[in-house]
């Protein structure tokens, strides 16, 4: 009996001891968990090495989902970085909503912060990562060309770098400012229909802070400085007095130099193609712009070894989107399509004067001449032909008995003055230095031709990409006359009617082939691309000239809007 009692006492003591150790173990475990949960609060943030400080952000460990920002890595693979950030921010919002809402449903401070971060991550922001709250910015750019004026109304998102073009409104009218000659006030008021488009496009509250610029090109330059200055002064006065827009100071209303015209067109084209302003420098396209009074060429040549683009008026150093570009550019004044027409017709008149068919100085009477640059059976009445002497003759041209396309090309080649002295070799035409497009511009890089190149090819059924040889074939078919037109262009709506209305398209296309092949030395097999728009945005110099206005350094918002 005594043995049983002792057994019970021993068992009870053993149980008490085990219970004591169990309680103590549990207490220690709880303390360990608590320490673990709060460990991140006591971690000391390591110092950032000085050579990494600008690029690396070292954060303490957090219990919440997150990521470490590294600008260099983000730029290297921006799509992956953006996807990770978007996913992590969504998880932060979910965790915060579930874990930090109290019993009555009121969110804590941390859940409000997480919600705000999630919202910011879906917003378009600047490079610094801060939320951008800037309004969209409008720009009005008027192109006062030689044959007509055009308005471009641009809407930009300025929260991106470079700014993103959201929308473009475009309208044009004829005639151009230069047609008003001495009527400066009439020239200024001729822009009213275009400015009405701008007024209707831009919300009233934005008009006072919308810059407007008017840039005149070759046509106004040909009028002479006195007349051109008077017209531009009237335009500025009309804008400042009768419209609410912020008129750009200084060169805002001015004759644009040829080099600016070409470079701005290059910026427009490569900006819309995504070739500039990208994460890395990539090959760019060359541009050839054919206006009425002048033609421009701009491209980025590449040289072997230590060769580089030689200095001169043709060299244009451009900074855009953090990259540097050494561009070759040149504006050939007097070699636009309408001026090219006149030069070819002037050769015919000068030859007729030499042969005695026209009395020199007889500018009162109309004269009749045969032109190899017209299709057989066609004619042009009362064409005004201005010679280098300044005298203007009135000519009725008629086509030859049979097609004479090659003879037209001969005349077009001749006006390019290819034999002029070349001081800095190699040269294109008229003695102007130009790096070889064959040697310094890769065949894989695009050649874009636009303006009159587009206007004379697209209506005749040419695709947006063709070889220079195919352009020569088109010129030949147009010069062959109406019998060929009915056969070749029958399936192209409106093309035959266009050629019947304007038979000088034979001359225009022949001049274009000569300019590209003989003038710029582009091989006949080389592919050309043409377009009127890229991504539904008008091609030309206007967009390239509008982008710098977003900086706002040369215009101020109007306080008193009309």
Binding residues for ATP, by number, are: 292-296
DSSP conformation class of 274? T
Tokens of 161: 């770098």
**Which of 344, 383, 310, 259 lies closest to 515 in space, CA to CA?**
344
Which contacts qualify for 441-446: CB closer than 8 Å, 24 or more apart? Answer: 441/286, 441/299, 441/301, 441/302, 442/283, 442/302, 443/526, 444/283, 445/283, 445/284, 445/285, 445/286, 446/273, 446/285, 446/286, 446/529
Peptide bond into 77 cis (omega under 30): no
CA–CA gap between residue 339 and residue 333 (Å, rounded)? 9
Angle at which helices 505-513 and 337-354 cross, to 10°: 100
Report d(CA 115, CA 117) in Å as an integer.
5
Cα–Cα distance list, 359 to 266, 350, 362, 395, 399 (Å)? 46, 10, 6, 13, 22
How many other CB atoms are there within 10 angstroms of residue 128's CB atom?
7
Show which residues are catalytic: 261
Helix axes 405-415, 505-513, angle to 10 degrees: 60
214 and 221 Cβ atoms separated by less than 8 Å: no
The C-alpha atoms of residue 240 and residue 252 are separated, in whole angstroms, by 12
Q: Which residues are annotated binding-site positions? A: 292-296
- 72, 53 contact by CB (below 8 A): no
């Amino acid at each position: 009996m005594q043995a049983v009692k002792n057994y019970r006492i021993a068992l009870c003591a053993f149980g008490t001891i085990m219970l004591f150790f169990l309680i103590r173990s549990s207490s220690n475990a709880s303390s360990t968990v608590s320490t673990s949960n709060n460990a991140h609060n006591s971690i000391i943030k390591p110092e950032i090495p000085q050579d990494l400080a600008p690029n690396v952000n070292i954060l303490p460990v957090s219990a919440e989902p997150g990521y470490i920002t590294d600008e260099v890595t983000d730029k290297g693979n921006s799509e992956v970085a953006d996807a990770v950030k978007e996913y992590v921010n969504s998880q932060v919002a979910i965790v915060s909503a579930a874990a930090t809402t109290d019993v009555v449903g009121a969110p804590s401070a941390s859940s409000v912060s997480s919600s705000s971060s999630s919202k910011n991550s879906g917003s378009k922001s600047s490079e610094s990562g801060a939320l951008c709250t800037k309004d969209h910015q409008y720009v009005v750019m008027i192109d006062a060309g030689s044959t007509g004026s055009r308005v471009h109304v641009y809407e930009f998102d300025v929260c991106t770098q470079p700014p993103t073009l959201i929308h473009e409104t475009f309208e044009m009218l004829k005639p151009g400012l230069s047609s008003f000659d001495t009527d400066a006030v009439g020239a200024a008021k001729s822009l009213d229909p275009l400015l009405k488009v701008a007024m209707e496009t831009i919300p009233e509250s934005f008009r006072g802070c919308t810059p407007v610029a008017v840039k005149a090109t070759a046509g106004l330059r040909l009028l002479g400085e006195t007349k051109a200055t008077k017209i531009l002064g009237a335009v500025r006065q009309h804008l400042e007095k009768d419209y609410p827009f912020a008129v750009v100071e200084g060169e805002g209303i001015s004759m644009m130099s040829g080099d600016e015209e070409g470079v701005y067109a290059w910026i427009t084209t490569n900006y819309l193609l995504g070739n500039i302003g990208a994460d890395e420098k990539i090959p760019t396209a060359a541009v050839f712009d054919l206006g009425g009074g002048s033609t421009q060429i701009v491209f980025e040549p590449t040289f072997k070894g230590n060769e580089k683009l030689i200095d001169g008026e043709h060299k244009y150093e451009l900074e855009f989107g953090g990259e540097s570009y050494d561009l070759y550019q040149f504006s050939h004044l007097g070699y636009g399509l309408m001026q090219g027409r006149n030069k070819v017709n002037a050769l015919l008149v000068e030859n007729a004067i030499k042969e005695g068919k026209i009395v020199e100085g007889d500018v009162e009477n109309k004269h009749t001449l045969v032109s190899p640059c017209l299709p057989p059976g066609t004619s042009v009445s009362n064409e005004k032909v201005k010679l280098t002497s300044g005298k203007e003759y009135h000519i009725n041209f008629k086509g030859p008995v049979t097609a004479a396309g090659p003879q037209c090309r001969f005349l077009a080649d001749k006006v390019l003055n290819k034999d002029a002295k070349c001081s800095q070799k190699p040269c294109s035409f008229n003695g102007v230095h130009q790096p070889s497009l064959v040697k310094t511009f890769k065949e894989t890089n695009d050649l874009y031709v636009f303006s009159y190149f587009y206007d004379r090819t697209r209506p005749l059924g040419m695709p947006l990409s063709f070889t220079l040889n195919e352009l020569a074939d088109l010129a030949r078919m147009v010069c062959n006359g109406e019998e060929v037109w009915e056969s070749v262009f029958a399936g192209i709506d409106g093309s035959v009617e266009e050629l019947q209305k304007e038979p000088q398209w034979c001359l225009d296309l022949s001049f274009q082939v000569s300019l590209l092949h003989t003038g710029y030395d582009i091989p006949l097999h080389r592919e050309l691309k043409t377009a009127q728009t890229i991504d539904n945005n008008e091609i030309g110099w206007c967009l390239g000239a509008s982008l710098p206005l977003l900086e706002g350094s040369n215009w101020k918002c109007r306080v008193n809007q009309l």
